[in-house]
């Protein structure tokens, strides 16, 4: 059983956990873009590049949170974790923050899938008449 297989339960724990992490991550990346804007004065980096990459990442995170109804949505969310980690090249603090969000996303995938499977089993026993 792969954790990237979405739970058949509509509005299940897996979808809720992953969508919450992706949405919160989008807000954190937005604030990291603001930090990158301020860091650009001291490091000589391009503010335009930081804003462009950062806002594209924010939009991608928000869209992927809406597309968690298929396995592709969960896979895109996992790939975006790598992009958030890579944003550490612009804002060094994002190495640690991105790692924490990646751990939370993977935990949401795994634990959410487990919780939904347990709920489905209970529903089968209770509603199935066993």
pLDDT at 75: 92
Q: Could you list the pLDDT tens digit for every one of the 130 residues in the chain? A: 466 677 777 778 999 999 999 999 999 999 999 988 887 666 666 788 888 889 999 999 999 999 888 888 899 999 999 999 999 988 889 999 999 999 999 999 999 989 988 988 888 888 875 5
Cβ neighbourhood burial of 74 (10 Å; 0-12, 13-18, 19+): buried
pLDDT at 58: 96
Q: Is 96 helix (H, G, I), strand (E, B) or coil?
A: helix
Helix crossing, 13-43 with 94-128: angle to 10°?
Answer: 170
Query: HSE-up of 17 (CA within 13 Å, CB side)?
Result: 23
CA 105 to chain centre: 5
pLDDT at 120: 87
Domain parsing of the chain, residue ranges: 13-128
CB 15 within 8 A of CB 7: yes
Kindly compute the dihedral angle of the four CA atoms of residues 91, 95, 97, 99, in this order, to the nearest 10 degrees: 150
Q: How far is the C-alpha of 36 from the C-alpha of 53, rounded, in Å?
A: 11
pLDDT at 109: 92
Interacting residues of 77 by C-beta distance below 8 A, sequence separation 6+: 18, 22, 64, 65, 68, 105
* Global confidence as pTM: 0.87
Structure tokens at 65: 């949170």
pLDDT at 55: 94
């Amino acid at each position: 059983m792969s954790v990237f297989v979405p739970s058949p339960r509509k509005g299940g724990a897996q979808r809720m956990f992953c969508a919450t992490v992706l949405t919160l991550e989008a807000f954190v990346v937005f604030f990291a873009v603001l930090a990158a804007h301020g860091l650009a004065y001291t490091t000589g980096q391009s503010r335009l590049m930081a804003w462009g990459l950062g806002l594209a990442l924010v939009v991608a995170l928000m869209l992927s949170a809406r597309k968690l109804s298929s396995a592709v949505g969960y896979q895109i969310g996992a790939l975006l974790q790598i992009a958030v980690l890579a944003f550490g090249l612009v804002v060094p603090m994002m190495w640690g923050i991105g790692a924490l969000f990646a751990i939370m996303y993977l935990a949401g995938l795994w634990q959410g899938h487990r919780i939904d499977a347990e709920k489905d089993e209970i529903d089968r026993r209770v509603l199935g008449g066993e």
